[in-house]
Amino acid sequence: MNLRDIHTPVLLERCIELMAPALQHDGAVVVDATLGMGGHSEALLERFDNIRLIGLDRDTDALRIAGQRLERFADRITLVHTVYDEIGLHAQGASAILMDLGVSSLQLDEADRGFAYAKDAPLDMRMDQTKGVTAAEVLATYSEGNLRRIFERYGEEKLAARYARFIVQARDTTPMVRSQDLVDLLQKATPAAAQRSGHPAKRVFQALRIEVNAELSVLADAIPAAMDALKVGGRIVVMSYQSLEDRLVKQAFAAASASTAPAGLPVELPEHAPRFRTLTKGAELASDEEKARNPRAIPVRLRAAERVREAA
């Protein structure tokens, strides 16, 4: 398997450009908090021979594959099986942190993981297959109200109530254990007019994946923990692929880059000065050229920030 043929890192050059100023000194430490198949990490290790890299991932398959890909850098890497909300345990004093959120190329491309509605497979969707409940278990055990909640909140699905009702009505006689089972039911439940606006399974599969992996609650903890771990002058780059993720990143960056001085204070004291400055104007998108070359770059939203002072 040639990883370069199946995995094209999203916004690679822009990520490197943003992190480069923090990586010029010997002993700089980069934390790839979402290692995946190691594409971004490989490029960083190739271009900066002075850095050490810590790669985190909850997916044991990803760690195995990335370990093989990065084997020639074995003396400069440490790979850790963990969820990235534990980044504070592994990234203290980091010079740069990269977070490439959402489902990885590996998880999408491996049909038996159940992430892709276009590929029939067991409804698993766990990024870490060593623990946790599967998507099939969520569908089999959640109440109609809870299913509606996750479809609305995590999938922003307008037909959430209708889909939840159909699933609960059908599951006693037709258990949904494979992705095709769920796709068939969703297509049956979707009015013809709504089917013309996109595949009926897209948002439901996204919602189930987020629920199974607790992605938003993990991210809400991980972003501030990563920012706290950075040294002064350190930089964090985050790539999001849907609005719920990007909103959390935007809010965390905005809070950290704002003054905490009380309103009306004539002079801003040092302890009230912002801890970070943003490096991007809003969220950056991939170019049309990259979107054409790498379809997984189409929804990406990139934000970056630099730490400018210690905590008070």
Of 109, 130, 131, 132, the C-alpha closest to 121 is: 109
Q: Is 38 annotated as a binding residue?
A: yes
Q: How far is CA 244 from CA 83, 215, 248, 310, in A?
A: 19, 10, 7, 29
Count the helices and strands in the chain (H runs, E runs): 14, 7
CB of 234 within 8 A of CB of 97? Answer: yes
- Cβ-Cβ contacts under 8 Å for 278 (sequence gap 6 or more): 253, 257, 303, 304, 305
Q: Is 40 annotated as a binding residue?
A: yes
Which pair of tokens denotes residue 294?
């790498």
Residue 224 identity (one-letter amino acid): P
Give the count of beta carbons closer than 10 Å to the beta carbon of residue 242: 18
Q: Phi and psi for 100 in degrees, rounded to 5?
A: -110, 95
Could you tell me how far CA 225 lies from the centroid of its own chain? 15
Q: Is 25 annotated as a binding residue?
A: no
Q: Is 107 annotated as a binding residue?
A: yes
Using CA atoms, how far apart are residues 266 and 289, in angstroms rounded to an integer? 49
CB of 223 within 8 A of CB of 249? Answer: yes
Token pair 């909300």 is found at 85
Of 96, 89, 80, the C-alpha closest to 27 is: 96
Q: How far is CA 103 from CA 13, 114, 127, 251, 311, in A?
A: 21, 11, 8, 22, 33
Q: Is 163 annotated as a binding residue?
A: no
Per the annotation, binding residues are 38-40, 57, 84, 100, 107
Per the annotation, binding residues for S-adenosyl-L-methionine are 38-40, 57, 84, 100, 107
